[in-house]
């Protein structure tokens, strides 16, 4: 055997499994954690250390950890895809609304420009205030829209659209 290794009986119950003794150095804090864990579980320090080393070296542990990370990354990727889709829908909706508004809104006559500008600034300030309140609350337009659609759906299941 190499330096620092000794063979010995692997079990107090007399089984024929031979274990090799390994002398290692641990940081005092780590040793205290090992002892506390072993005491709480009613197990020997050697058994706890052996189980920890086996778990650390087990390829299954690494594969399980990798699988967990892959699942998380897949979930995050799907969430990012949904967010990108939703943002695209929101931008297209806004662009369509702006185009429609610019198309159907008649120009303001020269004589009413100042009054229209003042009304526009006041409306914009009101809009920003309402937006701030809405963002500060838990209410969202998409949730309200879904509730409105559900409320306007026919209550008679025999009616098809």
- Which residues are CB-neighbours of 24 under 8 A, at least 6 positions away? 49
pLDDT of 2 strictly over 60 = no
Q: How far is CA 129 from CA 118, 126, 142, in A?
A: 17, 5, 19
pLDDT digits (tens, 9 = 90+) for 79-90: 999 999 999 999
Q: Domain residues of the chain, as ranges?
A: 5-57, 59-105, 114-151
> What pTM was estimated for this model as a whole?
0.45
- Which residues are CB-neighbours of 20 under 8 A, at least 6 positions away? 1, 5, 6, 7, 8
Residue with tokens 């508004």: 101
How open is the CA angle 84-88-92, to the nearest 5 degrees?
Answer: 175
- Which residues are CB-neighbours of 44 under 8 A, at least 6 positions away? 38
Residue 39 burial class via C-beta count within 10 angstroms: exposed 0-12, middle 13-18, buried 19 and up: exposed
């Amino acid at each position: 055997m190499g330096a620092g290794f000794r063979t010995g009986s692997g079990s107090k119950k007399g089984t024929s499994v031979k274990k090799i003794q390994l002398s290692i150095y641990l940081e005092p804090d780590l040793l205290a954690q090992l002892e506390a864990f072993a005491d709480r579980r009613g197990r020997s320090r050697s058994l706890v250390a052996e189980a920890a080393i086996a778990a650390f070296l087990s390829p299954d542990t690494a594969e399980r950890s990798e699988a967990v990370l892959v699942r998380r990354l897949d979930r995050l990727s799907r969430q990012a895809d949904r967010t990108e889709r939703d943002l695209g829908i929101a931008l297209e909706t806004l662009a369509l609304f702006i185009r429609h508004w610019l198309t159907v809104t008649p120009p303001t006559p020269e004589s009413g420009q100042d009054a229209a500008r003042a009304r526009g600034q006041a409306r914009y300030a009101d809009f920003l205030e309402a937006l701030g309140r809405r963002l500060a609350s838990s209410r969202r337009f998409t949730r309200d829209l879904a509730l409105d659609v559900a409320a306007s759906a026919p209550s008679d299941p025999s009616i098809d659209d």
